Structure 1
Amino acid sequence: MVRADSARNRQSILDAAGTLLASHGDAVGMDEIAATAGVAVGTLYRHFPTKTDLIAAAVAGLTERLVADVRAAADRVDSGADPVAELRGLLEWLIRKPAADKAIKAAAAGLAADALQEMESRGFAELDRITVAAHARGLLRPDITTTDFALIAATAPDDSLPEAARDRWIELALRSVVA
């Protein structure tokens, strides 16, 4: 059984890591994360012996949120919602959540590759439900696959572009896949 204070410390560390990784990427120091979490560095290292462990845990939390969002979109499609509208919503989430971007990029840089693969496999399974439904309704070009959406996601603009440019990117991305 985990003590309540230990569980609180772990969550504080993960919250601080998520915030700092999102804004600074993997360049953020463990000392800074501990200070932001309000714990001693030793406490941080007891929970996460390496920065890789900490980033993997932070990305795992992001994975849960992302998969839940994609699953909810797929459930809405299963209940009759427009698959293209749900894909639009997911693309909007992707480019309007720049805070998650640097944490994902840190994972992609190999610091938490297993966590990133977990995100891809679980997220793809849910996204595939939307893609299949969109194809069944004749809404996507026949050659479009779930993997194509990964490529689209990989080219998503960050928050350095003006909002109007990001909105335009969404429109162009959707035009490239819609029948």
Structure 2
Amino acid sequence: MPIAEKPMRADAIRNRAKIVDAAYEQIASHGVDVGMDEIATAAGVAVGTLYRHFPTKTDLVAAIVEHYVDAAATDAEASLARVQTGGSRAADELVEYIRRVGDSSADHVAVKSTARSLGVEPHPDTSAAARVEAALAGLVVQGQADGDIRPEITVDDLFLLMTTAPVNQAVEVRERWLQLVLPGITTH
């Protein structure tokens, strides 16, 4: 009979979240070479606590990436919920979602670079990634039904656009990029 994994204590959950937040900030500020000791100090935890949660820097960066994808999923689901409750149009929500992903990705450039250098999968096959895909599919279907999104647009097209956004550029450049790609997504 397999041994059931014990749920994490509340303080362990808080420590894990503090570590992930501090690691994000430290990597964003100092790059891939930031040490685990510096991350633990920034999180306000002992280095042993950090290593108990994340035995390697690769594990820690993978947790940051997972947190990012989970936040993107929650955002996409909120966009779809607003459409389903009649609060907004699917095309408008989709455009704003793409804008937010571009802005968020720009904030995560250092973390993505670190993830690549450590061999962390940039889009792990998680339930969060499936949630993003499902919410975007809902937006596309509704936007197409409304006549606002081109009939040939797929979720894969959206992922292609979002992964090629100029996230290492200023917000004005990212906004110009969005205005240039919108005619390929929307019907107006």
State the TM-score, normalized to the length of structure 2: 0.81
Which residue among 142, 153, 157 is the counterpart of 1:148? 157
1:44-92, Cα deviation, whole Å (9 max, x unpaired): 1111111121112222222221111000101112223211211121122
Retained in 2: the 8 A contact 1:91–1:153? yes
The within-5 A match list for 1:139-178 is 139-158=148-167, 160-178=168-186
Which residue among 119, 128, 145 is the counterpart of 1:136? 145
1:90 correspondence with 2:83: no
Distance 1:116 1:108 in 2: 12
Which stretches in structure 2 are left out of the alignment for 5+ residues? Answer: 1-6
1:103 correspondence with 2:111: yes
1:28 correspondence with 2:28: no
1:76 aligns with 82
1:52 aligns with 58
Q: CA deviation at 1:109?
A: 5.8
Retained in 2: the 8 A contact 1:55–1:111? no
Structure with the higher helix share, 1 or 2: 1
Which stretches in structure 1 are left out of the alignment for 5+ residues? Answer: none
Seen in structure 2, the aligned counterparts of structure 1 residues 110 and 133 have a Cα distance that, compared at 3 Å, is farther
Seen in structure 2, the aligned counterparts of structure 1 residues 129 and 111 have a Cα distance that, compared at 3 Å, is same
One-letter identity of the residue aligned with 1:13: I
Q: CA deviation at 1:129?
A: 0.5
Q: List, as ranges, runs of 4+ consecutive aligned residues in structure 1 with deviation greater than 6 Å.
A: none
One-letter identity of the residue aligned with 1:175: P
1:127 aligns with 136
Distance 2:32 2:184 in 1: 33
Distance 1:123 1:19 in 2: 24
Retained in 2: the 8 A contact 1:104–1:116? no
Seen in structure 2, the aligned counterparts of structure 1 residues 169 and 11 have a Cα distance that, compared at 3 Å, is same
Give the stretch that moved more between structures: 144-153 or 107-116.
Answer: 107-116
One-letter identity of the residue aligned with 2:178: I
Matched residue count: 178
Percent identity between matched residues is 39
Retained in 2: the 8 A contact 1:157–1:166? yes
Give the stretch that moved more between structures: 113-122 or 43-52.
Answer: 113-122
Which residue among 95, 103, 124 is the counterpart of 1:116? 124
1:154-173, Cα deviation, whole Å (9 max, x unpaired): 11122x43332221111112
Seen in structure 2, the aligned counterparts of structure 1 residues 151 and 114 have a Cα distance that, compared at 3 Å, is closer
- CA RMSD of the aligned region, Å? 2.4
Q: CA deviation at 1:145?
A: 0.5
